[in-house]
Structure 1
């Protein structure tokens, strides 16, 4: 699969073989088993770049999902690579505004990506249904997408095809979060590297993409186009053909004319001008956009109150599972068993603490959120982060935050444990072996000794494997400690 959208070989090797770390992407492996053993594939619901979308259902959990199915027969290798590239990216992405991948399969005929089902529909569809839209609402929508783009850029990933059609709501709830749903054009990049390729939708394409030589700032241009369109209902650069649109992008003046712009704030117009600067070096970064006056003033009015944050951080501080197997299993349940809409208000709390919007909670952000509480020293905060920082990068990402703050005394049901057990029991033997744990949790960068220790933690009868009752008993012990 390569390292186009994943970690580089150098990064993988940076983990010492004796260290224990859990990364979300390690739990989602490309499977070569028959997808229909695990999923029922339903009706076709649409098309995406190179892929056909089908409804599907997880046979174990009963959850409704989406299957992106791509036929590998008779296509150029680079087309197949683009599809697999999306799968590789989604393995690594861990952000509340990026669609969650559940499984990846590949056989001689098709490749498949199973993702969560964004039941809320497209952003533009909702705007049309509601019949009204305010500037503050646009800012709140865009803050979510800009945060996701800032996260991607921090992971050295350019999206390259940001557009409004690819933004969908997770649910039909009024306050549902937005998600970027398509990643078929993503590309991994290194500092100072420029890409020689033309890709994307002409309306959202930056000048340097049209000229075929660009870097991550092309995504910033696309964000500017999105804001312009949402505030005005029209394109900043238009034309009747693709060539005319691209010529307009390269040469036409950016204008804010007509009644539609009279009530729009100067802060919005100023931000759009900076994002649609034809010199990419003069555009802000995605992270800098999050600190712009327009985002700060207009998108931050719907944050959860301090009481919710204090109680959540209290749960986070109590999270103290030293067991490798327990920690890995909880992370697995969050990543692979629980759906995004089951995490409730924790998603909003994460965003409130994540003040710079990069999709990671730093020591500084956690300290600020704890200001209202007494008795927390720098050492206490360091200890807190160490407890939940499963991938050992010095910060708390979204899945780690959920793993630490979910009320496991309520959410760790026997049913969920059985689902997790069956998913880990890859050969369906009724027992989990050391080799199966290595596959599930990315054993390539950890010593096999660690996985032997994980087996030994729960292996009551000493046969070298974990059966269902041993697994449930072991996890129930953690549940009792959280009551």
Structure 2
């Protein structure tokens, strides 16, 4: 039986999932494609509110509890809100708040240290909330962080999982260049979210990943070695404090890795987060939609490099790791 989900509970539905969706919402422009589905604007037919609708083909949706997890996390200012969900035998439609700023990946622009510190603060507040609710995100990356109204929001909980203190997960899953060393040992817990967040901060400041290679195996070896290279070509103007923070977030030993609370209390985060920093996030939207070609070329990621490095580990799960 098809069904739709609202936060008042499960509501039986005699129409198809898409039919029920279109009765309540008018579908609009496409926002983009992700690893697990397509997103487009949808407008509430009664209130006129603009939202985002993410269509997920169930065969591609590795984790089936995304709706329950988003419901559990509903209301946190740094986590994208799920407003409704529709499902049938083949597809799920998630109706979520719309973040017009897009993802950090689609944005393409590097951030200043002040902006990156605000990102780090928002991200750690979201991670702290997830962990306090017994949830590991497992896929924190540039593509899963969205720019909302003057704050960053964590999105896409399709690979998220529940955990218990003292227990370990073993699924080999995530996006390769963001995966922590212990994931490849198939014994990990919530600390992997701090590692992935550290990779995000490194990448958004430099335009490069801290650990990468020309093949799956060489990338995995670089991650396991955990040797961080602050190349002067990209880091000559960076503060010593941010480098200290990144080293703490990317510690090879998860027991010695910084916690969300320690990251939030770090001097670099405290010093660089302010009302001025929050207001400066509006300029990121300006660069996203109106930035000149020369600006994008001088202060952006090499998207072909990033796209090559953003390898979802479904291939790893299948054992398709080339030499």
Q: What is the correspondence of 1:91-170 to structure 2 with a 5 Å cutoff?
A: 91-93=71-73, 94-126=75-107, 128=109, 133-170=111-148
What aligned pairs does 1:419-458 form with structure 2 within 5 A after superposition? none
Deviation at 1:301, TM superposition (A): 5.2
Distance 2:266 2:178 in 1: 21
* 1:197 matched residue in structure 2: 171
Aligned residue in 1 for 2:251: 277
| 1:99/1:180 contact within 8 Å kept | yes
Instruction: Return the match for 1:251 from 198, 201, 225.
Output: 225
Three-state SS of the structure 1 residue aligned to 2:170 is: coil
SS of equivalent to 1:278: coil
Aligned partner of residue 56 in structure 2, secondary structure: strand
Aligned mate of 2:267, from 290, 293, 296: 293
Q: CA deviation at 1:244?
A: 1.4
Root-mean-square deviation (Å): 2.3
Deviations 1:421-472 (A, max 9, x none): xxxxxxxxxxxxxxxxxxxxxxxxxxxxxxxxxxxxxxxxxxxxxxxxxxxx
Once residues 276 and 36 of structure 2 are traced to their aligned partners in structure 1, the CA distance between those partners, rounded to angstroms, is 38
1:53 and 2:39 are equivalent in the alignment:
yes
Alignment partner, residue 308 of structure 2: none
Provide Cα deviations, 1:342-387, integer angstroms capped at 9, x if missing partner. Answer: xxxxxxxxxxxxxxxxxxxxxxxxxxxxxxxxxxxxxxxxxxxxxx
1:282 alignment partner, SS class = coil
Q: Structure 1: which 5+ residue stretches go unaligned? A: 1-24, 305-483
Deviation, structure 1 residue 247:
1.0
Once the two structures are TM-superposed, the CA of residue 146 in structure 1 deviates from its matched residue by 1.2
- SS of 2:40 mapped into structure 1: strand
User: Residue in 1 aligned with 2:317?
Assistant: none
Q: TM-score, normalised by structure 2?
A: 0.76
State the alpha-carbon separation in 2 of the partners of residues 45 and 162 from structure 1: 20
1:62 aligns with 2:36: no
Unaligned runs of 5+ in 2: 14-19, 279-323
Deviations 1:248-283 (A, max 9, x none): 101252122314322212211111111111110011
Residue 167 of structure 1 deviates from its aligned partner by 1.4
Instruction: Look up the match of 1:228.
Output: 202
Q: Check 1:96–1:147 CA distance in 2 against 1; reply closer, same or farther (3 A cut).
A: same
Residue of structure 1 in register with 2:68 after alignment: 88
Over 3 Å counting, the alpha-carbon distance change for 1:256 and 1:43 in structure 2 is closer
Q: What SS does the corresponding residue of 1:294 show, helix, strand or coil?
A: helix
Partner of 1:136, secondary structure, is helix
Displacement, 1:110? 2.7
Of the three residues 149, 153, 157, the one matched with 1:183 is 157
Q: How far apart are residue 189 of structure 1 and its match?
A: 0.6
The CA distance in 1 between the partners of 2:78 and 2:204, in whole Å, is 18
Whether the 8 Å CA contact 1:29–1:104 is kept in 2: the answer is no
Partner of 1:458: none
Q: What secondary structure, in the 3-state scheme, does the structure 2 residue paired with 1:302 have? A: helix
- Separation of aligned partners in 2, 1:31 and 1:41: 21
Deviation of residue 29 (structure 1)?
3.1
Shift of residue 215, structure 1, vs aligned partner: 0.2
TM-score with structure 1 length normalisation? 0.52
Question: Rg bigger for which structure?
Answer: 1
> Whole-Å Cα distance in 2 between the matches of residues 29 and 81 of structure 1?
24
Q: Which secondary structure state, in structure 1, belongs to the residue aligned with residue 220 of structure 2? A: helix
> Aligned in 2, Cα 1:303/1:89: closer, same or farther, shift over 3 Å?
same
Q: Contact (CA 8 Å) 2:226, 2:252: kept in 1 or not? A: no
Query: How far, CA to CA, are the matches of 2:152 and 2:100 in structure 1?
Result: 11
Deviations 1:50-109 (A, max 9, x none): 32223222111111222122344xx4xxx6571x41111111112111111111122344
